[in-house]
Structures are given as structure tokens and as C-alpha cells.
Amino acid sequence: MSKLYKNISKILFSTALIISFAFFSLDSFAQNNDQSGKKITYKKARALQSSTAKKMAEVYKAYERLDDDGKEDPDLETVKRVLTELRANLAEMKSYDRSVVWYQWGYIYINEEDIANAIIAYENVINEPEVTKGLRESGLLTLAQIHLSQENYDKAITLTKQWMSEVDKVTAQSWYFLGIAYFSKENYNKALESMETAISMAEEEGYKPKENWYTILAASINELKEEIGEREALLRQADIYEILVNLYPKKIYYLQLGGTYNQLGREKDYMITLKAAYAKDLLNKESEYLALAQLLLLSENPYWAATVLEAGQKKLVEQKDEETEEVTMVRVVKDTEKNLKLLADSWRMAQEIDRAIPILERVSKMSKDGKSYVLLGNLYLSEDKITQAIDAIEKGIKKGGLKNTSQVYMALGQAHFENQSFETAKKQFRIAARSKDEKIKKAANNWLKYTENEEVRVKNLALRRDFIQNS
């Protein structure tokens, strides 16, 4: 049985048991007009004939059967047998008794997904002149639901409106169902109006509107974005998703809210939303972790960006092989060159050089060009690790693919200068001085001059030390 029919069936099962066994009369009535304009009066309760009541007692007992574990296990075969016996005597029954029997048959047909006969059964229920108010209302609503499931939207809307006109009180739930019918018919303006009414009434009635009320409202607004304007639609959707993440904090609503903020150009709010989802451990895709990390970098929070990326590297999720169906645990954020480079950059920008260096060492080995090696060399240089700096930069030059080699040779020259390898340093500065960039050229020549002077100064100091030691 499909989910839809299970839902209808569940409602009918409980309703049938409650309504069918009203063996007493009340003095309250409901009125409605038939097609001729004549008012029809419906009692809230009637009494079954004795013979019908006995048979319905069997039906009730069959519905109430439990299995060996004490769980509900309705004996539908018995129900169907007894109802068949009752159906054979429909002509001899009172109108109310017939409405009860037809209602029970409607439940059976729904359970069997025999839609055509289910429609006939419930139409017979509502057309019986002595049907009770409760049974008629339930029949109308069920018919509306069936026609909705069959995509007979106009019929569903008509029946729903009729049902709403007959119930004692039109509730938020009533407007919700009408909104569903309008949305299914693609009348999004009416759907929007109905869902807004449903939500407003629920709040007035003092209970939390249901989750899908908001989702249908948001979907209706999305369908009307050309009519109301894309930005206005996004602003209204953002309001709805803000409510959803507070009332129903699911991952999808955080992502929808974040995506809406992104479309509105509200990057900070987008970042805050993703960060909130991350804090609740709702993120489980690489793209989600990377998006958050990049947003944190844009908002000048490199430490947080690195923390998020490392958390993604540690988090494991199930991955199913499509061919073998074998399930394995994999890291959310893979150790790819791109991801590791982003992590290294994050730690570097956070001034956590000791954390950046080992990651950049891995990136440098993976990279097809020498850019990462050059960056690694500069980090070593900033940490006064001169030998490692020279080695890394030279590996970068050898690997190639560098855009601004003049700056690279400048860095290599500075490393050799710090190592007091003045001749080698001057060689690098001379190469850098060939640059067409006047700023780099000037800087290289200044470093060259400074190196020459320093070389002389160091030699003179050495000579002075030797003189003092030998005198």
C-alpha cells in the first residue's frame, strides 16, 4: 500500500470505530442545502438497528484483534465477510445503517487501493439522507483526499470547500488541506493565501504549525518569484527558512537558508548559517565543509577555517560502492592537493606557521608545478630555517611552472644571504634584477649592493679577528 493510502487508511480506521458505534441520539443538528436548495438536516448521532449493530460489533472486534506480541493486527478478512453479509441486506436497512456500512466498505477499498469503488462508497455515505454529521464530514474529507491523490484537483478543492462549510469550526488544518489542493493544481496564489491562513490560525490556536506547512509556503513563493520579484521572493523565503531552522532544525533548512542568503549577497549571514549547521554536526559533504571554510576565510577567520577543514578530514561517513554495494567508511574532506592547499593557506593566514609547514610539504610533493615549494621555502625563511628554505625554493625552481621567477630568485638570494653564501646570493639577485618589473629590478639591485657591502664587512671582521688572534 502506498504512503498516501496508508495515511488515509489510518485516519479512516480510527474515525470508523468512533463514529460507527454511536448507539445514542443527540438533540444537536447541522444543516446543509441539497442541489434543489432544500435544507438537509444532519444529526450528530443516530442509533443503529439492532441487527446492524450486532454485525458491526463483530466488525469492531475484528478491527481490535491483536497479534501474539500484543500489536494491532486487524482481522480484515472477517471485516470483509461481515460487511458482505450486511451489503446483501442494504435495501432493508435504514438510511443511517447504510451510511455506516458504506463507510466501512470505503475503508476496505482504500486498504485494497480500489479507488474507483472507494469513491462510490464514500459518495454513497454522504448522499444518504440520514447520515450523521460526523460521518458525512469524514466522508467529504476522505473523498477530497482521494480525488487529490488521483490528481482530480478541481474536485478535491470543491469537496474541501464543502467540507469546510459544514464543519463546526474551520481550523488551521482545514486551510492546510485546501492549500495542498491549490498547490497541486498549480494555483500558487491561492496556495500561498491558504498556507498563510493555516499558519496564522495555528499560532492563534496556540500550537506550532507543522513543518510541511512552511515548506509548501516557501515552495509557493518560489513559484511566484517572477510575479512578486525575485529579491522579494528570496527575502520572504529567508524569513520562512529562519523559522524552520528554529522550529525544525534539519540540515536541509540550514542549507536552504544559507543558499538564500548567498543569493541575496548576504555572505556573512550565509557563513553564520553554515557555521550553525556545522556546530550541530549536520554537515556531511565535502562541498559543505569547503564552502564554510572559504566563507570563513572571506570573513577573515582563517583559524576557524582551518579548524573546520581538519574536522572534515577527521569525520567519517559511509560510502556505498554502486557495483558491489560494499559499504566503507571514508573521510568527508579528502586529502587532495586542492584541499590541503586550502588548509595550509588557512593555517598560514592564521599565523600558525608550524601547522602550515607540514601540510605544505605534502602539497609540494603532490603538485605538478613548483609554486607550493616556493611558498614552503618562504615559510621556512620566515622561521629562520635557512637550509630548508634554500632546498625548498630550489626544488620549486627545478619543478617549474612559476609565473614570477624574479621574485623567486629574490627569495632564494635572501636565503643564501642569511646563510652568508654571498657569492651565490649575488648570483640570484643578478638574475632577479633582469626583471621587467621596475620595482623588483630596483629591489634586486638594492639587495645586490647590500650583499656586496655585507660581504666586505664580514671579510673585514674576519681579518680583524685573525689579526687579533695572531698578534
Domain locations in the chain as residue ranges: 1-168, 396-470
- Furthest CA-CA distance within the chain: 140
Instruction: Give the span between the Cα atoms of 81 and 77, in whole angstroms.
Output: 6
At residue 63, the pLDDT reads: 87
Instruction: Indicate if the pLDDT at residue 46 is higher than 90.
Output: no
- For residue 258, count other CB atoms closer than 10 A to its CB: 27
Q: Which residue has the higher pLDDT, 112 or 471?
A: 112
For residue 90, the 8-state DSSP code is G
**Does pLDDT of 27 surpass 60?**
no
Residue 43 confidence (pLDDT) above 90: no
Q: Report the pLDDT value the prediction gives residue 66, as an integer from 0 to 100.
A: 87
Q: At a CB cut-off of 8 Å and minimum separation 6, what does 270 contact?
A: 258, 259, 261, 262, 295
> Is 151:170 a contact under the CB 8 Å cutoff?
no
Which whole number is the average pLDDT over 124-144?
94
User: What is the pLDDT confidence band of residue 19, given thresholds at 50, 70 and 90?
Assistant: very low
Per-residue DSSP letter, 47: -
pLDDT of residue 70: 87
Mean pLDDT score, 137-158: 94
Residue 199 scores a pLDDT above 80: yes
**40-44, 206-210, 328-332, 367-371: range with lowest mean pLDDT:** 40-44
Cβ-contact 42, 29 below 8 angstroms = yes
Q: Label residues 265-294 b or e (16+ Cβ within 10 Å = b).
A: ebeebbbbbbbebbeeebbeebebbbbbbb
Q: Distance between CA 90 and CA 104 in Å, rounded?
A: 13
pTM: 0.79
Q: Which residue has the higher pLDDT, 40 or 306?
A: 306
- pLDDT for residue 49: 84
C-alpha dihedral sign at 298, 382, 337, 355: negative
In angstroms, the CA 25 to CA 48 distance is 10
**High-pLDDT (> 70) share of the chain, %:** 90
- From residue 202, alpha-carbon distances to 39, 172, 245 in Å are 32, 5, 18
Q: What is the pLDDT of residue 131?
A: 93
Residue 29 pLDDT more than 60? no
Cβ–Cβ under 8 Å, residues 406 and 432? yes
pLDDT at position 16 is: 42
Q: Residue 44 half-sphere exposure, CB side, CA atoms within 13 Å? A: 7
Question: What is the pLDDT of the chain when averaged over all its residues?
Answer: 89
Q: Distance between alpha carbon 21 and the CA centroid of its chain, in Å?
A: 45
Identify the pLDDT of residue 42.
Answer: 65
Average pLDDT, integer, range 164-174: 91
Cα–Cα distances (Å) from 224 to 35, 64, 191, 211, 228, in that order, read 37, 48, 11, 21, 6
Task: Give 241-275 pLDDT, tens digit per residue.
Answer: 999 999 999 999 999 999 999 999 999 999 999 99
Place 41 in a pLDDT band, splitting at 50, 70 and 90: low
How much is the average pLDDT of 185-205? 96
Give 1-168's CATH code, choosing from 1.25.40, 1.10.760, 1.20.1250, 3.30.420.
Answer: 1.25.40
